[in-house]
Chains A and B, each alone.
Chain A
Amino acid sequence: MAVLEKSAPTREQFLALRRRCEVIGKGLELLKSKREALMKEFFGIVDESIRLRDELTAMLASAQRGLERARALNGVAVESFAYGAKRHVSLNIRARNVWGVFIPEIEDVHLARTLDAMDMSPVGESAGVIDTARRFEAASELIVKIASREIRLTAIGEVIRSDSRKINAITEVILPSIKNRVKYIERVLEEREREEIFRLKRNKARRQAAGS
């Protein structure tokens, strides 16, 4: 801005500033379109995310009830089963490009296992413990789904916030200041033109007076 204020009020400067104003205007339109597209994506995920969160709350409440009942009836057998059910889960994360923004997405995974996949003997095991483990596996599946959406929400939200800041800066500060400067230079140039005409007229009058 300081550079704009200090720039000399010349025709060249005037033309350069008008060009810059046009470019910034186009950029502003682009930024607004990008923000609109991201907003659409954002609100699409928000609805789904809220629905999944509600689903998870209900699922966890029921799984927790099952766990407490299993703990009461089976005691340390719950821990023993948990040791057997322990495993590493790999998640695939890929980036999707939305208006030049790379948004991470976690691929959905299937975590609820059959009895055979759990790799434990069903013979001495309590049905309640097995059922509780399965409910928590299903809840983990949902947690991965929610995490994927919430990471996207955070990433998109950040970009929307930064774009909004840029749009505000352009519309509230940069554009008005350039426009003011353009007006100022325009006024100075008009003033100079009027002075020039006055000077020419005065010279012409002097020459005419000297000739007569």
Chain B
Amino acid sequence: MKRALKKPVASDLSYFNARVRAMRGALLRKADYEPLMRLASAEALLEKLKATEYGPFIEAASGRYAEPLEALSNALVADLAGSLGQLWKIAPDGARPLLKAVFSNWEVFDLKTLVRGLSRGVKRDEIKAALIPAGEFDMAALNTLLSSKDLPDLVGFLETWGSPYSGVLKPGLKEYQRSARIIEMELGADLRTNRLLLEALSAGPADTRIMRDWLGLKADLQNALTLFKIAGEGYAQEAAAGFFIEGGVKLKRSNFVRLSGLKGKEELLNALKETGGSVIRNVLDKAGPDPMLMEEFAEDALKERLRALSIIDPLSIALPASYIYMKVREIKNLRLIARGAAFGVPLDELRRLVFYPV
């Protein structure tokens, strides 16, 4: 039986959004970053952050990890998991299917990490360290999934819970059992989850449209980034079509397949700027040929779209959704600043990589 995601229902988001606004108020401002970037070491940053909302997580991580960078990374992951958990907890039931469009990023990430770890015989503790509890996979659920002895067992757990992710992974499981390859399961997690989200957001209250349109933009940007990753990898056009994420507005399947035939990244960059629409063009113009920067600008474009919508309609789902992206960006910035301080990255280079979320 095919399992679907829950459909969103109209709910009053005013109280939820008020609380999210309070959470957003605790985020670091642009002016807060400059003194942090000037700190001489990761230890100094750690000390500075103890006075912020990261304090309890840093205290807990410092007791477990002697290395400041490791302590900070773990504290930041714990803080992110805490924020995501809090958001999921306070979200009205009807709004959760909408937020799922964003939370599915971590759910899919956790599933892929579990699939990778279990298939390659990685120790359970190591897998656990890389998981981020979010959405339907809270720590208790992840612990249960971690207790699976192999991948069929993992899918079995999901099936027992009635999770739609069992249907997402199941088709790829046959390929894994036949050839020990996990790519089909991973692609299933990426592409079928997107399909489920599109189905769930096909109709519903006004906020549904916001998330559906945003999902379209996300699909366009992800497809553009995928084209850069597979360029020159020797994929036939039919194989490349297997990486296409549906739901995009500007980059249709036929165009994606045509562009996947281009071997040079410069050629692809120019072709995408011509045919990919204004958002993709903007991202590519700002990032230049660096694929890592492209990803960061793409993520920023997704956040900006939600932020703009949250200004137009402050009571919409765009506000909590944009908050998640702001929080993620803040954590990335802090990790960058810490590593920059530890490895002596010049201030100009740091400023180039830090995006101000608020």
Contacts and interface: CB of A to CB of B under 8 A. Distances in A.
A184 to B, nearest CB: 73
A76 B133 CA distance: 12
A73 B112 CA distance: 19
Contacts of A87: 120
A94 interface: no
Nearest to B350: A72
Contacts of A115: 229-230, 233, 235
Contacts of A124: 105, 108-109, 112, 189-190, 222
A104 interface: no
Interface residues of B, number: 54
A116 to B, nearest CB: 7
Contact of B77 (A69, A75, A122, A126): A75
B332 A128 contact: no
A72 B339 contact: yes
Interface in A61-111: 68-73, 75-77, 79-81, 83-84, 86-87
Nearest to A127: B291
Contacts of A114: 233-234
Contact of B130 (A68, A80, A123): A80
A123 B219 CA distance: 10
B273 interface: no
Interface string B317-358: 000000000000001100110111001000000000100000
Nearest to B119: A84
Chain A at the B interface: SS class = helix
A130 interface: yes
Contacts, number: 123
Contact of B132 (A71, A76, A126, A131): A76
A84 B338 CA distance: 27
Interface in B107-157: 108-109, 112-113, 116-117, 119-122, 126-127, 129-132
A123 B225 CA distance: 8
A72 B336 contact: yes
B116 A120 contact: yes
A123 B187 contact: yes
A123 B256 CA distance: 13
For the complex of A and B, the 7 pairs showing the least CB-CB separation, nearest first, are A127-B291, A84-B116, A121-B186, A128-B292, A79-B130, A80-B113, A123-B190
Given A86-B120, A126-B292, 20 more contacts: A68-B343, A69-B292, A70-B292, A72-B338, A72-B353, A73-B336, A73-B353, A75-B335, A76-B130, A79-B130, A83-B113, A83-B122, A115-B229, A115-B235, A116-B233, A121-B189, A123-B222, A124-B109, A127-B228, A127-B295
Interface of A: 68-73, 75-77, 79-81, 83-84, 86-87, 114-116, 119-128, 130-131
